[in-house]
Chain A
Amino acid sequence: MKDFIEGSEAVARAVCLCKPGVISAYPITPQTHIVEGLAQMVADGRLKSQFVNVESEHSAASVVLGAVAVGQRVFTASSSQGLILMSEVIFNIAGMRMPVVMACVNRALSAPINIWNDLQDSMALRDSGWVQFYAENNQEAADLIFQAYRLAEDPRALIPVMVCLDGYILSHGLEVVDIPEEDKVTQFLPPFNPSEKLDTANPKSFGLLAGPDYYLEIRHDLHQTVKDALTLIPDITADFKRIFGRNSGGLVESYRLEDAEMAIVSAGSVCGTIKDTVDVLRAEGKKVGLLRIITYRPFPEELILQALAKVPMIAVLDKAVSLGASGPIYADLKAAFQGKPGKKISGYIAGLGGRDITPDTIKEIFKQLAGPEVSDQFIGLKN
């Protein structure tokens, strides 16, 4: 049913339809509305789930780790400092191959304290072994929740998935969202039935010590499994389209890249602003386009190389920075094109801490892309 709702509510309703047995979270702006919504659903009896209140995000992540280990479908959500406080457990969840699904409502990192949007929080955890999806709009944020559970719990994957949505812009922004009927979700998402789980009748342990003799192989296996998700995701999105009737999620999205001479590569809700600006510039005869990264981890390198094969000038717009290096997506893109001549690839950093990215910002990036090649050019700095 279509409704006019904010991204947080869209995510909460999607999670509710997936019926997690255990939810645990600690409130943090701007993620709060998601877990408030879920807590209300549990309190009203609309969602049969155990909602565990905890004293910190570290505990919230630990609770869902324990619950998924005994075979429960779980959910948590966080932002910014909360996510970073979870990080010790986040890495463990992936290492133990636990199919946790969480929402990251993207917000800047302290210090200075800033509650507004950028992608620095989830980007800081890109190396954790989690799959990361980035939503462009509220519909996709909801749809990615279903796809996240489907991927995470696939016996070939058993890896955690983080659905990232931009703080305020999506989490507190209201737009039309189609929340599917329960029977379609049931059809798309089979019950969670892990082959390995903690059971007092059949005791075992997860996450034990692995010395130098084993650790390398275990990390290699996890790395390979996360990469293998690149083959599972297209099947999941195809099946999603078959059941729900719409394209949503996936690895990357090409927008007006055919014959493009310049393209921006980015992720998240800013891609909507880029699409509108591309249309304006196209109407003026400029050959520009967008490549939107939906799945950032695993990194869909082959698809990116194909999509941009004929585009000579590429600007990467990062809403994050690896301090002392460059924007994270820029670094990945440069690495992907390593050894392939005839490309100009420039890195731009914008929108940190909620600085508004407008069509003029996008036009400025296209303008600068025609100039010297740069790796970490901040856009919109005040003097």
Chain B
Amino acid sequence: MRIHARAGQGAITTAALLGTAVFMEGGYAYAFPSFGAARMGAPMNAFIRISDRAIRLRSQIYNPDYVLVVDPTLIRNVDVLAGVKDNAVVVINSREPLFLNSKSAGIKIIYVPATEIAMRHLGRPLGNTALLGAFAAVSETVKLESLKEVVKRRFPGEIAEKNIAALSEGWEAACCG
């Protein structure tokens, strides 16, 4: 999976939460960032590989099965669909469909109003957990329950609860939206 965000928007935390959930389910993951300009607000990627055995491959991901777009303003300057596999699933943080020039006919694009969900539950525009919930809904990779458990362990009481609510709403938005 390739995550598109700006530095400071929590892409690495998103990848870490997902990887930890996979690890808790007995799988293996390797999550890592790639910074461009290495400063807040600059476009960056986080990547995560998931497998049932230890991962040795260290290169970046050029042909993702999944793409997560945390910040939709990036699509003006960044080709978020670059190299995606023919049957890739792309989860984009947006209330409404955006114009994306897709060369692959089979890719599935899902729009989730993650920022609105986050504002409602967290009061801050951090849509990452809502997007993760959406990802759990559209992939067989990880269970929503595992993500909830990871959030519960990672964040203190109230923040965890709010994020779990955002996770669930993201999940619903993707499977019912």
Contact = CB atoms under 8 A, between A and B. Distances in A.
Given A173-B32, A175-B30, A357 B19 contact: no
Contact of A176 (B23, B32, B57): B23
Contacts of A173: 30-32, 58
Contacts of B12: 172
A175 B55 contact: yes
B29 interface: yes
Contacts of A115: 35, 38
Contacts of B55: 175, 272
Interface in B9-60: 12, 15-16, 19-20, 23, 28-35, 38, 54-60
Contacts of A357: 58-59
A71 interface: no
Interface string A153-177: 0000000000000101100111110
A176 B54 CA distance: 8
Given A4-B20, A273-B56, A358 B32 contact: no
Given A4-B16, A4-B20, A115-B38, A174 B59 contact: no
A168 B32 contact: yes
A275 B54 CA distance: 12
Given A115-B38, A172-B32, A269 B57 contact: no
Contact of A174 (B31, B56, B60): B31
Interface in B36-86: 38, 54-60, 62
Interface residues of A, number: 26
Contacts of B20: 4, 174
A11 B12 CA distance: 19
Given A4-B16, A4-B19, A115-B38, A174 B57 contact: no
Contacts of B32: 168-169, 172-174
Interface string B127-168: 000000000000000000000000000000000000000000
A113 B78 CA distance: 24
B59 A273 contact: yes
A174 B38 contact: no
A276 B56 contact: yes
Residue among A4, A172, A273, A357 facing the most chain B CB atoms (10 A cut-off): A4
A263 interface: no
Nearest to A272: B56
A169 B33 contact: no
Contacts of B38: 29, 115
A356 interface: yes
A168 B28 contact: no
A272 B57 contact: yes
A176 B21 CA distance: 12
A359 interface: yes
A356 B28 contact: no
Given A4-B29, A168-B33, A169-B32, A174 B58 contact: no
A278 to B, nearest CB: 10
Contact of A175 (B28, B33, B59, B60): B28
Interface of A: 2-4, 29, 115, 136-137, 166, 168-169, 172-176, 269-270, 272-273, 275-276, 356-359, 361
Interface of B: 12, 15-16, 19-20, 23, 28-35, 38, 54-60, 62
